[in-house]
Amino acid sequence: MKLFVGLGNPGAQYAFNRHNVGFMAVDAIAADYDFPPWRKRFAGVATEGKLGGETVLILKPGTYMNESGRSVGEALRFYKLELDDVVVFHDELDLAPGKLRVKTGGGAAGHNGLKSITAHIGNDYVRVRIGIGHPGRKDQVSGYVLHDFAKADHDWLEPLLGAIAEAAPHLADGANDKFQSLVAHRTQEDGDAGREPKPSPKPARTPAEKAAPSKPAQPKAKDGPFGILRRWLGQDG
């Protein structure tokens, strides 16, 4: 069994904060694989299902970020799991926006959620580091992480979360390198697909074409920026 933990702060006012990208990642996984509804467990909310051949408990601590370890420790002890069965998804200031790395152990780099988890269960758990970039100055970090993602981030965030969900069974199987490679490959493909080709010169219109009525404009897709994410979070209106 694996324990997937998303880090974030509870409450609708924090839902789209950069600091909550860990919550967003596990929400995407639970939604894409039709996990049962979330229910209150372990000082948070949890859902349990299958990823590939592995049973996975997905946990979102209901404490604030700096108390996350209490929730994780309760789940770990209840299921008698080892540290390498725990996978924590969190925001990472030291990675460029849209980049992802997986590692086991290491320092907390000032992340209060990781500090709390390490204090409660030890250090050698798996971390999925989701890059959000750095504001440039240390005194701006708190406001930056507790602010919603900018509109400019929408183009990379949804594809990244989709890639994380798609590759999640490999993470559950312990194939961390394969998970990381697949996410990188998928997000690169999506980035390439999103680049518009240079337009070809338009041929001159014939008199008949000029006289024909123009086609009505097609309606815009309902989703728009963050539409998929809002559905993952159960906030689609």
pLDDT of residue 236: 56
CATH of the domain at 81: 3.40.50.1470
Q: Is residue 125 in a domain?
A: yes
Judged against a pLDDT cut of 60, whether residue 224 lies above it is answered with no
pTM above 0.75, yes or no: yes
Domain housing 106: 2-193+221-232
Instruction: State mean pLDDT over 26-30.
Output: 96
pLDDT of residue 205: 53
Reported as a pLDDT band with limits 50, 70 and 90, residue 200 is very low
Q: Is residue 213 in a domain?
A: no
Judged against a pLDDT cut of 70, whether residue 80 lies above it is answered with yes
As for how many domains the chain has, the answer is 1
Reported as a pLDDT band with limits 50, 70 and 90, residue 108 is confident
Please write the tens of the pLDDT for every residue from 160-176.
999 999 999 999 999 99
Pick the closest to residue 125 from 43, 167, 68, 163 (CA basis).
68
Element (H, E) at 172: helix 154-172
Q: Is residue 209 in a domain?
A: no
Reported as a pLDDT band with limits 50, 70 and 90, residue 214 is very low
Q: Which of 163-167, 194-198, 212-216 shows the lowest mean pLDDT across its residues? A: 212-216
- 19 labelled catalytic: yes
Helices (H), 33-111: 68-79
**Among all chains, which residue has been given the structure tokens 């309606």?**
219
CA 58 to chain centroid:
13
Task: Report yes or no: 48 and 58 within 8 Å, Cβ to Cβ.
Answer: yes
pLDDT of residue 109: 83
Q: Is residue 203 in a domain?
A: no
What's the order of all strands across the beta sheet hosting 2-6? 39-41, 44-51, 54-61, 2-6, 86-92, 126-131, 100-104
Q: Is residue 166 in a domain?
A: yes
Q: Is residue 73 in a domain?
A: yes
Instruction: State mean pLDDT over 91-95.
Output: 95
Backbone phi, psi, residue 169, to 5°: -60, -30
Give the percent of the chain with pLDDT over 70: 80
Q: Is residue 201 in a domain?
A: no
pLDDT of residue 51: 96
Please write the tens of the pLDDT for every residue from 116-162.
999 999 999 999 999 999 999 999 999 999 999 998 998 999 999 99
Q: Is residue 215 in a domain?
A: no
- Among the listed residues 19, 90, 111, 170, the single catalytic one is 19
Longest dimension (CA), the chain: 77
Judged against a pLDDT cut of 80, whether residue 42 lies above it is answered with yes
